[in-house]
Structure 1
Amino acid sequence: STTLTLGAISLLQRASAYPINRRGGSHLNNLVKRDDIEVVDKVYEEVMVSEEVVVFVNQFGTPFSTTTMPNVESTIWSTGPLTTITPSHSTTTPSTTTTTTTATSSSKTDPIVPPPNPPATENLAKTSSTPTPVVNPIPVPPKPEPTTHSTTTSAALPPPSPSSPAPTAPTVPPAPPKSVGYGFSYSPYMANGACKSAQQVSTDFAAIPNIQQYSIVRIYGTDCNQVATVLPAAKAHGLKLMAGIFDLNTLDSEIATIVAAAQGDWSSFDTISVGNEIVNSGTAPASTVVAAVGSARSQLRAAGFMGSVVTVDTLVASRANPSLCDGSDYCAVNCHPFFDGNVEAAGSGDFLTTQMGTLRDALSNKNQRIMITETGWPWQGTANNMAVPSPANQAVALSSIRDAFASNPQDVVLFTSYNDLWKKSSALTFNADQFWGFLGYAPS
């Protein structure tokens, strides 16, 4: 049979001189309400038995790889039109210039096609016996331009689910950790904010194309038992984990959760981050955050972790409060060209490079490592002056970023792997919070 599954592809922070509170700790307000759910009107299925050819396509529907499977019973999917239920309280977005300059890749430019409808989560999961990964390969990097800081989507995480799923053993033997490679961020939540199981996380990781180009996966907290559920999937693909402590008020318990998940083996942990954009959001002053980093480091060292312990904030907040970097084992900052508003997609890489230079000038240790722990470009949303969300611009921006970090890919984390449908759309972040996934919609 022929199985074809088509899928697709943080508060506002302006120019580098004007940090604005971002979503930070407001994750409780970012859960998707029922009136924000996208549903598929119709799903038809037809069972056939024959030789199975699996066709892998990108988020624009263009085939890029095929493989033949033995005779199996499979299901052909056909979905009806996507219906969006718009909440009555939806807010109008700020008026901005929407003139888009679509930069082209040095090799070729994918056609600008609206992303396909997301899969009907429940129906597809129940009927498809062997779901085909939905992937969006990153094009060849064009020459970049500067980029900025982050005000986007990662800082916000949903509250812990009442019943966190128990992790299961990985089905793939652990691969040797890679020393060099790009990083990517991942959030183990379903569209309704529920926790993903270890098997669902494994499915998401298995669908990442060319995963060997990555060496680090970043997560943001310990809710949903996510350290224990993501760790096996990371190990299976030779990835190291950048685990996160999200709330300083629960510092000790979150450390205990991470220690328990490690089970004495820290070989797959690269970094433990303490907080995400806490100073930028106004949640706590830099002195409080630095003290928390010191406390966390002491507890983690006592538990056997000898890796890096840092805090993550926006590049703007860290430049204004260099003690955040002084108190960290390396300087970890989020920086998003999109929120600058004066940077087009093709200038993302150069913008990041320029902003990192201004940050380094403010550091006590001019030789301290700087890592961009979150950067990317949305494929859908409202234009922020010169920054226009679109699938083509996302691809161009990511290519520019990759090009800028080609010699040190371990110093950048791409935001984010899959779309975050559990987040709440907001005009303050250009209605783009849900659509930063460079791999489109998660298969699980």
Structure 2
Amino acid sequence: MKAGLLTIAALSALAVAQPHRPGHRHLHGKREVVTETVMATATAPHAVVYVDGNGNPMYTSYDNGRKYSHPTPNSHARPWAEENTSAAPEETTEAAPAPEPTSETSNYVAPAPEPTSETSSYVAPAPEPTSETSSYVAPAPEPTSETSSDVAPSPTTEAPAPSSTTSETSAAPAPTTTSTNSGSSGLSITYSPYNSDNSCKDQDQINMDMAQLSGYSMVRTYGTDCNQTATILNAARANGMKLFAGIYDISNVNSEIDNIVDATNGDWSDIHTIAVGNEGVNNGQYSVDDVVSALGAARSKLSAVGYSGPIVTVDTFVAMIANPQLCQASDYAAANCHAFFDGTITAQDAGKFVVAQAQRVSEACGGMNTMITESGWPSQGESNGVAVPSEENQKAAISSLKDAFSDNLILFTAYNDMWKQNNAGTYGAEQYWGMYGNAPSD
């Protein structure tokens, strides 16, 4: 599939962004969630024109003072058609077309070293693959079961331990090589602590929700509002999970870090990664320079308070490929990718699609280790080409993703996010990406 990202400051310069759409994606800040979309947008300070693959205008949305999101509190449709209330960056960049997979079991491979078998997996410089077909996995002990197709993984190991350095070339996550994906060991999941009326869930509600997710190695959050870093960290620790903590508002990064410092009380042992921003470049909310600057400020402040784990920014795979500076300023490449928003990928092929895009991200970032920080499928909504939302297809997509990844994948999302709102780019599915339906606390 083609993938492209274009940002334009005037409506007269309509451009086509190639599918991808993991794009949509969900903006995950509270009440600000968007989803990566396969559509390209041209933005102006007060309007967004959506166009098809031939550059023909499809519809226009106007700034009404609110942000919309799709998956993510989660970020699904990123370029998803989120209304953009800020001017787009001046530069225009288009990602190169995605290479066609060479086999049905095409795996995530870094550009080097050269594989020694017909099909090898994504490896940090060696060891050599041990079988002709291998999967993208992180350095966790080998799972004990051969393959799991359930929607809910039951990993037996924790996520890889954070790196002990704050340098920009940190090797976390550090994938190794094994044979095909065995079970769901090491997989992670996203979670947002909001009730359907947008109010904040309390510790008891979060404990109830998180108890059902105890089989995962890590949980990802998107912001610090609702005191969620502290409450979700408490629940994660009780269930033997790490926390992938998010900073949503990078314009106030120092205050956001203060919230995280207070939540951890100086104990960083259960913080796997701290993410500064989520799809801000893809959404036109921030420039690449804004994000890189915020990463630098966060790195300096976090180092001063004793944090030595990975620090990254998260964006759509399209934005990462078009702007490798984002991953180069991070300790590893962190990209959201949703096959649903591409429109040409069926649920059964979601895993192959996401693996191919992870490989493209790694190559664009000079062979960096890559984590897919969001990927899932909606259970309800309107069809996007051959991508059809349904409970059956959601299960098929999750199974496909689990077959493609043994680690370095964060599934989106734990529960339906009824607090979110749909827009023209979310296919009526924004609230329905929850792998476990509605949250127990709802």
Task: Give 1:232-271 correspondences, 5 Å limit.
Answer: 232-271=234-273
CA 233–328 in structure 1, closer or farther in 2 if over 3 Å, else same: same
CA shift in 2, pair 1:178/1:283, >3 Å: closer
Alpha-carbon distance between aligned partners in 1 of 2:320 and 2:260, rounded to the nearest angstrom: 26
Closer/same/farther in 2, CA of residues 29 and 309 from structure 1, 3 Å limit:
closer
2:83 alignment counterpart: none
TM-score by length of 1: 0.61
How far does residue 355 in structure 1 lie from its aligned partner after superposition?
1.2
Q: Distance in 2 between matches of 1:335 and 1:396?
A: 17
Q: Distance in 2 between matches of 1:283 and 1:355?
A: 23
Cα distance in 1 between the residues matched to 2:315 and 2:21? 14
Partner of residue 430, structure 2: 433
Partner residue of 1:190 out of 176, 191, 195: 195
SS in 1 for 2:395: helix
Give the superposition deviation at 1:382: 0.3
Letter of the 1:199 partner, please give it. Answer: D
| Residue pair 1:419, 1:434 contacting (<8 A) in 2 also | yes
For residues 387 and 202 of structure 2, the distance between their equivalents in structure 1, rounded to whole angstroms, comes to 36
Letter in 1 for 2:392: A
Match of 2:351 among 342, 349, 362: 349
Pairing 1:416–2:418 present:
no
Give the equivalent residue in structure 1 for 2:325. Answer: 323
Residue of structure 1 equivalent to 2:301:
299
Find out whether 1:200 has 2:202 as its counterpart.
Answer: no
Q: Is the 8 A contact 1:337 1:352 kept in 2?
A: yes
Distance 1:259 1:325, change over 3 A: same
Q: Distance in 2 between matches of 1:153 and 1:265?
A: 30
Which structure is richer in relative contact order (CA contacts within 8 A, separation 6 or more)? Answer: 1
Conserved? CA contact 1:30–1:422, under 8 Å: no
Q: What is the distance in 2 between the residues matched to 1:277 and 1:340?
A: 17
CA drift of 1:16 comes to 3.9
The Cα shift of 1:424 comes to: 0.9
Instruction: Map 1:86-235 to 2 at 5 A.
Output: 152-155=70-73, 179=160, 181-208=186-213, 211-212=214-215, 214-235=216-237
SS in 2 for 1:270: strand
1:348-376 CA-partner distances (Å, limit 9, x unpaired): 00001111222222123x1x110000000
Cα RMSD after superposing both structures:
2.6
Shift of 1:23: 5.3
Q: In 1, Cα distance between the equivalents of 2:222 and 2:196?
A: 17
Q: Is structure 2 residue 23 aligned with structure 1 residue 24?
A: no
Local SS of the residue matching 1:443? coil
In the aligned structure 2, how far is the partner of 1:311 from the partner of 1:19?
16
Q: Is the 8 A contact 2:417 2:433 kept in 1?
A: yes
Amino acid at match of 1:337: A
Equivalences, count: 290
CA 1:389 to 1:18, structure 2 compared with 1: closer, same or farther past 3 Å? Answer: closer
Q: Secondary structure at the match of 1:279?
A: coil
- The aligned amino acid for 1:353 is V
More helix as a share of residues: 1
Q: d(CA) in 2 for partners of 1:27 and 1:223? A: 7
Native 8 Å contact 1:22 1:280 kept in 2? no
Structure of higher CA gyration radius: 1
- Distance of 2:24 and 2:412 partners within structure 1: 19
**Residue 440 of structure 2: aligned partner:** 443
Q: Distance in 2 between matches of 1:305 and 1:30?
A: 28
Contact 2:218 2:241 in 1 (8 A): yes
Amino acid at match of 1:372: I
Runs of 4+ in 1 over 3 A off after TM superposition: 13-31, 175-180
